[in-house]
Structure 1
Amino acid sequence: MLLAKLPRRSYTHATTPIEKLTHLSKLLDGPSIYIKRDDLLGLAGGGNKTRKLEYLLADAIRKGADTIVTGGALQSNHCRLTLAAAVKEGLKCHLVLEEGVATPYDPDANGNNLLYKLLGAEFIKVVPYGSDMIADMHALGEELAAAGRKPYVIPIGGSNELGSVGYVACAQEILQQTFETGLVLDDVVVASGSGGTQAGLIVGFHASSAPIKVHGINVSRPNETQIPKITDLVQQTASYLNVADNQLADRVHCYDGYVGEGYTIPTQGMIEAVQMLARTEGILLDSVYTGKVMAGLIDLVRKGAFKKEDNVLFIHTGGSPSLYANPTLFNEDLFVL
């Protein structure tokens, strides 16, 4: 598996650090917990989508695109970073945003919505909750093509086999970092949403014969739909890279007990987790992804899912700009040092 042969743009000029969460580990009295700081990746505000976009934008440029089309939720980190990547490459960007269950579009909202405007999205289309987002994005691409433009449609979350390569590369980066420091990882915990991050890590560790278990904490779907989604993407990514997929399906592990009432809807566990990491380690999480993932990790530690001697790596996938769209969400103290 030679990733260097694939076209790639570079948006981050160093590896993201792995830090030990000393205070959190001591507080929970469980395994040693580490964090991979992918919130420090390049582009506007950082986050895991940057790794995927390095491959997706290279493909768009290779195909002569002049406009990027993608979509997500109203406070989509993926849309923010895709827009930033398009700006960096001198391309235009059109966004399709889906309203929430009980969250109508507010053009004056803070957070990522503010950044869409600041970064200069050429066009934003807002669709109702439950819309067929894939169809909406492709329809927008067809309109652009009919007008003489050259659109390139990037899937939600950048999660196809090409985007997932970004986290195959990240798995290699993690293994190199742990080799250099002598850290032996037992488990990795990551958000399981559109799936590219989790799928890429699974394929990357598998291809390197690294027996590291990847735990995906669901942020939007129950296991009956999430596990097949991740398994399919794992197999597509492995096939794309000519990696043997024997027993790969057995490496897909998802936990759906931390979604709450649905995607983007806050939970008490998420609020506690965001406050806990802020007040023990000075690190910001977000309410949609990393807060729920950390809530899952904390609960799994409390339930004894990991041994005391284990080393567990939490992947920080970014997202803190969305905190500023919910200024009262953390008014209640659910965690106090």
Structure 2
Amino acid sequence: MIHIFRRILNRLRAGNPRDRREGSSDGTGDSGADSDAIRTDGGESVSATSTPTVSVSTRIRRLFQDERVAGLLFWVPPFLLMGWFVYGAIGWNVVISLTDWSGLGQPLYDSFDLGMYRDLLSDPSFKVAARNQVVLMISFTVAALGLGLLLAIMIDQNIRFENTFRTVYLLPMALSFVVTAIFWSWLYNADIGLINQALETVGLGAVALDWLGNPRTKLAAIIVALTWQFSGYCMIVYLAALRAIPNEHYEAAKVDGASTFRMYWRVIVPQLRSATTSATVVLMVFALKAFDFIFVMFGDTPGPSADILSVMMFREAFSRSNWAYGSAVATVLFLLALAIVVPYLYTQHKRGDL
């Protein structure tokens, strides 16, 4: 489709050969078009020059030569598709959350109320899922940022095999949540898991636990696995920010007698604020999208200790056919995502980075 639009634009920009011939002059024919016509009845001379008419094809060609109009052919189709399938679906989800639709028959759009949202506020399972969601977002984000910063500082010391270490640390980021969940399910297995076997090998068999079966360790196990997967991403973000800091800052701190820890804590880390903000937003959004990771590990009933909003939304809508209630949970999840992304985008816009 893009190739067809380009061919149409090229033809219109090339213009009509007939129009070009009409606009040219070879000294004959219309050479006197600008001269005054003399009246033969003795009256005053009247100028024969008039406003030239523009053909329709010329007007269309000029219209399509405008960059704004030409750009419409490229951004309107994807805008319409995204508006229908993404934002239209979000809007319809909000409408469904205002009804009492159970998934059978047609929704009744003649009466809307906030009954589903009132039920959410009084639902203990929603409060538990929301609490776990917040704990997961904060703990996972802080752990991934801290480990990523530590790895970035270590690699920034001009160590040997730097490219190899960067590839190894970044490799988990390329894995999907499904693969990561299966991999860590094997590691956490109470009987044949590598973690418990390693603890028994070093004489710490008493510490071995049923990591995915114990309610006290479920959420912690999820946080550790997600931190392992995304710490490499944080490492790359921080490494790029560290390489952008001038060497004069390091040298000035050393001249002032600052130790390595004090130099990074007082001089280098404060300059990583922009990288930290960007990585924080990305990590929090991934924490909101951890549904498939938890679903592969525990199904749609992970228990109160590991339940989050996205899993609750799936359980209510698809397992219990409470579509309106599930839509209300999805709307809360969407508003939570907006509360994370919108302030960041606004800040970037005020700084002129958007």
Q: Normalised by the shorter chain, which TM-score bucket?
A: under 0.3
Q: Normalized against structure 1, the TM-score is what? A: 0.21
State which structure, 1 or 2, has the greater radius of gyration over its C-alpha atoms. 2
Higher strand residue share: 1
Structure with bigger helix share is 2
| TM-score, with length taken from structure 2 | 0.20
